[in-house]
Structure 1
Amino acid sequence: MLRISYWVFPIISGVVWLTTLLALLLYWIVDEKRPRYSSMGPTQNIAFISDVGASDLKPLFIAGCVITGVFLDISFLSDRWLRHRGRLVPNATRGEKVLSGLTIFFAVVGTVGMIFLSIFDTAHYPKHHDVFLLLFIVGFVLSAVCICWEYQRLGNRYRDHRILRTSFWMKLIFVVVEILLAIGFITFTFITKFDTAAVFEWIIAFIFSAYLFSFYVDLYPAVNTKDPRNLHSKEPHQSRFPAVADAAQEQEMEEGHATASSLQSDTDQLTGGRYYSADATGVTVGSGAGSGNGAPVVPPAVGQNGHHHANGGGHSNNF
C-alpha cells in the first residue's frame, strides 16, 4: 500500500515541471507548427523554452515555474526537518548542517530566478530575462553541489544506509552532466549557434526534471518513521543509527570509567586510605596508599593460627 508522506513534494515538483515542458514543446511543434517568434534570432529555427513561454502559454509557464520551485524548496526544507527530528538519518556534525542550510539557500535563489525569468519573458525583457536565467542555473547547480557534499558525508558516516550512497551518486551525475551541458549551452549561445543552444537548453530542462524526482528516494524512508517508537531517540544509546549508537556507547564507557575513578577517590578520602577486609569470623584493618605513610595496599595474609596480617605487620583479633 502506497503511504502518503513528505515524498509527495518532489513528485509534485517533478510532475509539474515535466508537464510544463511537454506542454510548451508540443504546443510549439504540433499546435503551432514550429512558428518563428519575435524573440528568435534571424537564423534561428528551433525555439528556446523561453521563446515558447513568452507566447500565449506565458500564464502556464509562470504557473509551472512557481509550483515547481516552491515544492522543490519545500522538499529541501522537509529533508532538513526530518533529519532534525530523527525521522531520517540525522546530520551529526556542524559541517553537515551548514551544507544542508546552504542547499536550501541556493535552492531559494534558484527558485527566485526561475519564477522571475518566466515573468520577465525574453520577448519584452531580454536583459532581465538573461540575468534571472543565470540566477536560476547558478542557484540550483550550487544547491546540488552542496547536497551532494552533504550526502557524501552522511554516506560515509552511515554506511549501512545504502540509499544515501545511491542518492549521492544520482545527484553527482546530475551535477556533472548539467554543468557540462550548461557550458555547451552558454558557448553556443555566445557564438550565435542558437539552434544548437536551444537543443542544449531543452535537454538541460528535461534532465532537471529527473533531478527533482530523485528526492523521492531521499524522503520516502520517512514513511517508516511515522510511528513515534521508530524515531531517532534523543538518548544517544537508544539510537536507531549505528554510527550514533557506537559513539554514544564509547562516551558512556568513558563516563563510567571516570565515575568509577571518582568514587574510588572519594572512598579513599573517607577511609583515610585504610584497607578493610572481612570474613566470617572477623574484620581486618590495614593501611593503604592513602594513609599518608606512602605504603602500598597489600591484601591481608592468613596465618596458620587464623590471625590476619596487613602490610606484613600488626595483629588483629577475631570477633
Structure 2
Amino acid sequence: MFSHRHQHWAYVWIPLVTSFVWFGMLWAMLITWLAQGRPKYVSQQGKIAYISDIGASFLKPLFIAGGAVTGVGFFLSLSVERLLRYTGRLPPSLRKREQVFSYLAILGSLAGAVGLICLAVFDTQRHKKLHRAFLLLFMLGVAFSAIFTIVEYHWISRDFREFQRLKIAYIAKAVITTILICLAIAFGVALYRSHNTGAILEWTVAFLFTFYLLTFYYDLRQTKHFRKHGYFKDIIRAEKQRRAEKHHTMRQI
C-alpha cells in the first residue's frame, strides 16, 4: 500500500508514459530513416522525409501504436486532471466558466486523439486526402484543447493566487502552445510550397509537442500531500481566516 505522499504517482505516469512513447517513436522513425541512408519513400516529394512518409513504410505498425498510445494518453491526462479538480485534489473550478472550458479542452483532446490515430491508419501513401484531413483534425484538436486549457488555468490561478504553481503551469503552456501554433501555421504553408522546409517544421513541431505533454506531469504532481477535498478545505480555512481578520479590524475601529 502506497503512503499518502506517493498517491500522486498513479496519475503522473499517464503524461510521462505518453511523452516517452511519443518521443521514442519519433526518434525510432528518424534514426531508421538516417540509418538506411535517407531513402526516398514512394510518397516522399522532397529530400527530407516527412513523419508520415516513414509512417507509411514498414514502420506503419510502430506509427499506429505510438499514435494510439499518445492520443489516448493525451485525452486521459486532461480527463484525469478534470476529475482531480472535481474531487478537490487539485485547485477546483469555482465558477461554471472554468468547468465549461475544461470540458471543451477535453473534447479538443479527444478530437486530436482521433485525428492522430486515424492519420496513422490512413497513411499518406494510400489515402493522401484522408491523411491530410485527419492531420488537420489532429492539429486543430490539440491547438483548441491547449487554448481552452490555458484560459481555464488562468482563471483558476486568479482564485488561488497563493499557489504559484498554477501561474507557472499556464504560462509554460501558453509559451509552448504559442510556439507550436506559429510553427504549425508555417508548416501548413510550407506543405504546399517547400517540401523540405515543411518536413523540418513537421519534425520540430512533433518533438516540441513532447514538452507540452510533459506539462501535465507538472500539473498532476500538485496532488501530492492533498487528500480528497483537500483544496476545498484550504478554501474554507482561508475564508474563515479572512473573516476573522475582517472582524478583528472592525473591532479595532
TM-score calculated relative to the size of structure 2:
0.90
The reply on whether 1:15 has 2:20 as its aligned counterpart is: yes
**Partner SS, residue 67 of structure 1:** helix
Q: Look up the equivalent residue of 1:224 and give its one-letter code.
A: H
What whole-Å deviation, never above 9, does each CA across 1:169-226 have from its counterpart, x for those lacking one? 11101121011101111111122x1001000000000000110011111001113224
Q: Which has the higher helix share?
A: 2
**Partner SS, residue 33 of structure 1:** coil
Q: Look up the equivalent residue of 1:123 and give its one-letter code.
A: Q
**Residue of 26, 29, 32 corresponding to 2:34:** 29
Give 2:67's aligned residue. Answer: 65
Give 2:113's aligned residue. Answer: 111
2-side partners of 1:47 and 1:114: how far apart?
Answer: 18
What whole-Å deviation, never above 9, does each CA across 1:212-256 have from its counterpart, x for those lacking one? 011111001113224x5x7244xxxxx2137x8428976xx9xxx
2-side partners of 1:147 and 1:247: how far apart?
Answer: 30
Give 1:74's aligned residue. Answer: 76
Give 2:43's aligned residue. Answer: 39
- Between the two proteins, the alignment pairs up a number of residues equal to 239
Q: Kindly indicate whether the alpha-carbon contact (under 8 Å) linking 1:152 and 1:165 is maintained by their aligned counterparts in 2.
A: yes
TM-score calculated relative to the size of structure 1:
0.72
Give 2:202's aligned residue. Answer: 201
Give 1:258's aligned residue. Answer: none
**Residue of 171, 175, 188 corresponding to 1:186:** 188
2-side partners of 1:128 and 1:225: how far apart?
Answer: 45
What whole-Å deviation, never above 9, does each CA across 1:26-82 have from its counterpart, x for those lacking one? 01011x1100000011xx100000000111110000000001111111111110000
Give 1:161's aligned residue. Answer: 163
**Residue of 73, 83, 102 corresponding to 1:100:** 102
Q: Kindly indicate whether the alpha-carbon contact (under 8 Å) linking 2:29 and 2:59 is maintained by their aligned counterparts in 1.
A: yes
Give 1:240's aligned residue. Answer: 234
Q: Kindly indicate whether the alpha-carbon contact (under 8 Å) linking 1:16 and 1:64 is maintained by their aligned counterparts in 2.
A: yes
Identical-pair percentage: 36
Deviates more, 1:88-97 or 1:171-180: 171-180
Q: Kindly indicate whether the alpha-carbon contact (under 8 Å) linking 1:89 and 1:241 is maintained by their aligned counterparts in 2.
A: no
User: Which runs of no fewer than 5 residues in structure 2 stay unpaired?
Assistant: 247-253
Give 2:251's aligned residue. Answer: none
Q: Which has more radius of gyration?
A: 1
2-side partners of 1:147 and 1:203: how far apart?
Answer: 22
Q: Look up the equivalent residue of 1:28 and give its one-letter code.
A: W
User: Which of structure 1's runs of 4+ aligned residues deviate more than 4 A?
Assistant: 247-250
User: Which runs of no fewer than 5 residues in structure 1 stay unpaired?
Assistant: 234-238, 254-319
Q: Which has the higher strand share?
A: 1
1-side partners of 2:72 and 2:112: how far apart?
Answer: 10
**Residue of 10, 35, 57 corresponding to 1:5:** 10
1-side partners of 2:24 and 2:81: how far apart?
Answer: 24
Give 1:279's aligned residue. Answer: none
